Amino acid sequence: MDFEKLHNAMVDRINKLDHAYWVDLKPLVGDPEYDKEMKSLIDFETKHPEIDTANSPTQRLGGGLLKGFATREHIEPMLSLDNLFSSSDLEQKIKGWLSTLGVQGAPFIIEPKIDGLSCDLKYQRGNLVQALTRGNGREGDDVTANVRTIRSVPLFIEELDKDEDIHIRGEVCMTFDDFKLVNERQAKLGLAIFKNPRNAAAGTLRSLDSKEVSQRRLSFIPYHVINNVNTMVPVYQDQLHDWFKDLGFKSIHWYEVGVTIDEVVDWVMKFEALRTRMPFPVDGAVIKLNFRPDWKNFPNATKSARWGYAYKYAPEEAETVLKGITVQVGRTGALAPVAELEPVEVSGSTIERATLHNFDEIEKLGVYPGCRVIIAKAGEVIPMCCKVVEFVYICPICKFKGTEKEQMEHHSDVRIKMD
């Protein structure tokens, strides 16, 4: 029997199931059947240790505890993008691009700014050999063992098997649905609940237990490629997203290309509403020159690129009344205060409760029953109280001037004196 051929068939089958579940979001089988097929592959590899399993799906299950993360230098600086906060700032940057290029119009691409952690994946002859975090931009932590557990990251890409060295950069994140499942698992295990998807992704990627990382449902979404000698790599950024998808990655499924300044600004403004429908946390829009060879005309600054900018949106907020504060007991016995609210719409959902995190937060915010508060999501799955809205009132009887809380305290003192 050709054991290697049989192993390849089993590996191809699991890879197909993983891609359908994690990338296409269309599972081909249920969890029990998947677990059964994965166990068969594990058993097969145990019985035949002579078979090369470097790129087997079983390697995604993680190994033992790591002692720490080695720090390694990036092949090219991993730069950030400067933030913009107004349409006028955006218009000025686009005019600067056009002036440098000496043209009246040029294609620009607008992409979601995913709220995660940037990561550089290095492939040699199609094999994933290294994964580095952004770090300080010049060097980052080697998190290869953890990234290999991410189902949406191909361990081997046949289309790149002739490339000596190619780097694919993207964002490690967690979808809202996966975040919910991860927190449910945390609660069942009596572990700390994550505050939001970004914190969950960040904490997971830096975990020293790759086996635990494999249970945390991370995703990787690519947005950039560098140091390529592959002539098949598209020169337009919008085509690059389709190329990533063809390689087997979970790619950005929403982007727009505009040519004029008005088109770009219009799309950036429209995306503020659309971003709430994204499956992962998005805190802004990224605007880039779509023709990647044009990037060389804009030398990078020390820590940021000049061929793209990040437009940051204001957090999703709403004002309501805090009716009361209740205490929730966690599985570990920890007490967590919760704000009970007058129902209010935030980011497309009705919010009636919001976390206050801990009792120190109550004192810090100065919340009390009857006060008006600002509730925000801002990419959060769990609504939170941001601040108290203080209104000044004048008592119609005694003419005392003060906030609602001060009015309550004042009239309480008056009653005590009268008694």
C-alpha distance from residue 163 to each of 37, 148, 156, 330 (Å): 32, 20, 12, 51
- For 202, other C-beta atoms within 10 Å of its C-beta total 18
**Is there a contact between 247 and 160 (Cβ–Cβ < 8 Å)?**
yes
What phi and psi, each to the nearest 5 degrees, are found at residue 335? -95, 130
**Is there a contact between 404 and 322 (Cβ–Cβ < 8 Å)?**
no
Distance CA 208, CA 255 (A): 35
Closest CA to 210 of 146, 144, 128: 146
CA angle centred on 282, ends 142 and 233, rounded to 5°:
60
Would you give the end-to-end CA distance of the chain in angstroms?
97
Q: List Cβ neighbours of 246 (8 Å cut-off, separation of 6 or more).
A: 159
C-alpha distance from residue 178 to each of 172, 184, 351 (Å): 13, 10, 21
Of 93, 113, 288, 377, catalytic: 113
**Is there a contact between 326 and 338 (Cβ–Cβ < 8 Å)?**
yes
**Is there a contact between 255 and 110 (Cβ–Cβ < 8 Å)?**
yes
- Strands 384-389 and 372-376, bridge-based pairing: antiparallel
Distance CA 79, CA 318 (A): 34
Q: Catalytic site residue 122?
A: no
Distance CA 274, CA 182 (A): 25
Distance CA 329, CA 335 (A): 5
Q: Coil, helix or strand for 237?
A: helix
Closest CA to 38 of 158, 164, 233, 214: 214
Active site residues: 113
